[in-house]
Structure 1
């Protein structure tokens, strides 16, 4: 009995500790990583670093002079293959960053190719490779699955937010994915049914709602997706005919008026300093600078499909206006976000040309390799297989990239449609005054605030 009691005294705390660690790994993964995962992973890397690098093909043979010196000195240990040299190790709350100095003859592409093997060798969730300088790369290790439960930290969101900068998702390395229209003015989001495109669109609209931005929606599904955002929209088109009229106004009036304003600012001889000459609206004086315009198209295929000659003529004009908008509107402070299940040359003439203007690329789970290749094939080939491999039980998960070739897996937080609609109603008073878009402004019944009632303002906008 005494031996059994002694065994229980030892095994009991161990079992409790193991159960607690397993619970923490699921419920509080950051705490588990800080207490257990980080020390274990760091010890594993330091103990077997050279062997792991050699097994992953990331070592080089020692130079000839070193081999000769080793033979002459009798120290044969110098003849071992040399791995990249670790110059810095930085622990983080979600993983580990290991900076490497590459050996002569090695390239960042070699390390990128071996990233998946390093992930399994070091038993971490993911390994990303970032080139910092010539012969210097950083391995960004993620210790656990950050995208299983998505929550955007308020402090980080406040830090990265700004005009036309919308934090919409969490990246797999713990950073915030920001949709920055100033840097990447036009975007394309694709994905199969039920993959989270609508969730991404909601987060995007809600992020733009409190900003001094004119939101324009095109939703040819009779407005079922964007109709709840109506209080905050400057214009809404719910069928292809209305969308055509709206694009005519945006390209033929709004955009041209803004270019005329820029030209007028530059042509006032003797009254404009050299530093005030501008080619876009952002250097205009604040008192005359027009509000930016962001147009969100819910299902781009509905604007391309045509079943008769009349619809074909409408389609060609729609496509031409969309291409002109995407090519020319950036300097006028006008941007576009295109969404669809698939956007390829199969839609007809002009689809490829329009897609080439869409710099920011996001792909949710897709049903075929062709759609992923169409989205990332020419800019980030490594992202293609990642987009195809997204699990069906992870709605909102996507791969985001741009024409620079950089890409990352992201996931948007869940946002109920009712909450998104409430946010749009809350900021309805921020809709900019754009007379040209007044005929397309959706009519909504928004309850008036006490201040509006006191001023005699009508309750319906």
Structure 2
């Protein structure tokens, strides 16, 4: 008896969505019966409630859609606009006359049936029923796909398809599910390339099965720029595209080397432009570029690039300047007792972008390798795009490929290239991009992204690139310096002996900020020291700012005053407490917060 009752209640709960119209009808009559028995004068309450619902539906549809995405469809909103008054009328009439008065039960049942038909026939309702059948029959599907004994323990529909958690029998592994993807597509009767399997962290014998019924990446995704007034910082993750489930592809580039790999026409240049646009939107970044196609790819970014090299000679000089910069930063951090560089608007993270790394000379590759190994902590980072990052292409004996923290893999022609770009073993773990059928589609491997999820980069047009470069142009960019040289009658090429070669555009700007400029001036000062006026000229800051840093430096023993009004570095410092070593600086006025952890010394010490 109890077993039959339990099964009946279980069925009522299991099919609660299908039985919802009956529940609404019964609930309206019971509510009216309660009001009729105890508070018959309350009949206006349901009428007012229905009026409020209609008002919100008419004047605040966006607010409703954010909370109930189903209401985003106009048909559903139209249905709701009729359903609310019908329920209110049933409750009000039952409250006044009683739920069994006259033909009220009949008319209310007919009204319920009228609204039940669209409820049962709506698209997501049909999809949910179909997914439930797939779940119930999944044992047979798994048997056909070679995963005998597997069963689907849960399933849910999504915007673009459905997903279910599958539990395999003991002895089977997630790798078996990866190998069975083609067979699963056949057993489920789905299109080629529509099935995804994702690893479940807590059990090697389980996996998440996703079926993409409607490809959200079938059409390009329009570029979404950040407004010029919105402050952006490289300390915050940036969005470069959209995953298949509609979630944004958000990646952190803070102190990260980035590798982009893909075959010809895979959308490598488009993804590179999206990343450059996001970096340009951040005010605490500086970008140098190496484009060995004579500047063809990076020339549109000349309003943002502080330096651009277009041949191997100038590329070597640029990379050497990058090595010099990271060594200066490392020495500066050592003197301050810190281990990491925290970017700010006047102490930015430096990105060195290299298009087609394999075309670099051997000397250039060695310099890039040095930056890859030592540049992360001091925020001198590489952004490399290449077709096949083989050991030969990346330089024999080079550790550069292993230093790439963020890796984007677009379509490749040969399966082994996946492991070359993303790392050994990725192909066997399900990271396969050989079947990608459109430009800009990629898999990304980074911190917090350990499972293969297909993404597509925003489509950024040439007009978008030009607008972004102008909107976020830098005062010390290649374009600005070339314009200044024309006005002042300087050399057309901008070559002044420091740019590294006749085809280098611009000269290496100072990217380390006034703090390092002050420290360098004090370090290089003669034994008798330098006056405050010289320190002001070196830093471009006011007297108060300089004196504040000098007093802090004298307090911690890194700065001394040999005579009145003259200063120099002592080249020694007090050892900070261990807890201070990993902390970052306090932001200057006008700069956004760097990271939650801050340096007590911040801008106030050398």
Match of 1:202 among 273, 280, 285: 273
Compared with structure 1, are the counterparts of its residues 117 and 233 closer, same or farther at alpha carbon in structure 2 (3 Å cutoff)? same
How far the C-alpha of 1:214 sits from its partner, in A, is 0.8
Corresponding residue of 1:281: 341
SS in 2 for 1:231: coil
How far the C-alpha of 1:421 sits from its partner, in A, is 1.9
Corresponding residue of 1:387: 433
Aligned length: 359
SS in 2 for 1:223: coil
How far the C-alpha of 1:236 sits from its partner, in A, is 1.4
Native 8 Å contact 1:387 1:399 kept in 2: yes
How far the C-alpha of 1:34 sits from its partner, in A, is 5.4
How far the C-alpha of 1:373 sits from its partner, in A, is 4.6
Corresponding residue of 2:263: 192
Corresponding residue of 1:398: 442
How far the C-alpha of 1:164 sits from its partner, in A, is 5.6
Pair 1:412-2:412 in alignment: no
Match of 1:140 among 195, 200, 210: 210
User: Could you tell me how far apart the structure 2 residues matched to 1:330 and 1:165 are?
Assistant: 16
1:340-384 Cα deviation digits (max 9, x unpaired)? 223323437437532222243333333445544532461402478
Compared with structure 1, are the counterparts of its residues 122 and 369 closer, same or farther at alpha carbon in structure 2 (3 Å cutoff)? closer
Native 8 Å contact 1:171 1:410 kept in 2: yes
Native 8 Å contact 1:216 1:294 kept in 2: yes
Native 8 Å contact 1:41 1:122 kept in 2: no
Native 8 Å contact 2:373 2:399 kept in 1: no
Alignment of 1:325-340 (within 5 A): 325-340=371-386
Native 8 Å contact 2:306 2:506 kept in 1: no
Alignment of 1:60-459 (within 5 A): 60=149, 83-84=150-151, 86=153, 88-124=154-190, 125-134=194-203, 136-151=206-221, 163=235, 165-182=237-254, 185-211=256-282, 212-252=284-324, 254-266=325-337, 278-282=338-342, 290-304=347-361, 315=362, 317-347=363-393, 349-350=395-396, 352-369=398-415, 371-376=417-422, 378-382=424-428, 386-391=432-437, 394-401=438-445, 406-429=451-474
**Mean Cα deviation higher: 401-410 or 109-118:** 401-410
How far the C-alpha of 1:425 sits from its partner, in A, is 1.2
SS in 1 for 2:281: coil
User: Could you tell me how far apart the structure 2 residues matched to 1:298 and 1:191 are?
Assistant: 12
Please list every run of 5 or more consecutive structure 1 residues that lacks an aligned counterpart in the other structure: 1-27, 61-82, 267-277, 305-314, 433-437, 445-461
Native 8 Å contact 2:175 2:429 kept in 1: no
Corresponding residue of 2:45: none
How far the C-alpha of 1:107 sits from its partner, in A, is 3.0
Greater relative contact order (Cα < 8 A, sep 6+)? 1
Corresponding residue of 1:5: none
SS in 2 for 1:327: helix
User: Could you tell me how far apart the structure 1 residues matched to 2:453 and 2:376 are?
Assistant: 25
**Mean Cα deviation higher: 227-236 or 353-362:** 353-362
How far the C-alpha of 1:153 sits from its partner, in A, is 9.5
Please list every run of 5 or more consecutive structure 2 residues that lacks an aligned counterpart in the other structure: 1-72, 77-120, 478-495, 508-606
User: Could you tell me how far apart the structure 2 residues matched to 1:239 and 1:179 are?
Assistant: 31
How far the C-alpha of 1:52 sits from its partner, in A, is 1.4
1:360-416 Cα deviation digits (max 9, x unpaired)? 33333334455445324614024788333333xx22233433598633333223211
Runs of 4+ off more than 6 Å: 152-158
Pair 1:54-2:125 in alignment: no
RMSD (Å), alpha carbons: 3.9
SS in 2 for 1:332: coil
User: Could you tell me how far apart the structure 2 residues matched to 1:330 and 1:318 are?
Assistant: 18
How far the C-alpha of 1:104 sits from its partner, in A, is 3.6
User: Could you tell me how far apart the structure 1 residues matched to 2:426 and 2:122 are?
Assistant: 31
How far the C-alpha of 1:329 sits from its partner, in A, is 0.5
SS in 2 for 1:129: strand
1:37-69 Cα deviation digits (max 9, x unpaired)? 733541341341221123333344xxxxxxxxx
Choose 1 or 2 for highest CA Rg. 2
Compared with structure 1, are the counterparts of its residues 195 and 57 closer, same or farther at alpha carbon in structure 2 (3 Å cutoff)? closer
Native 8 Å contact 1:97 1:139 kept in 2: yes
Corresponding residue of 2:480: none
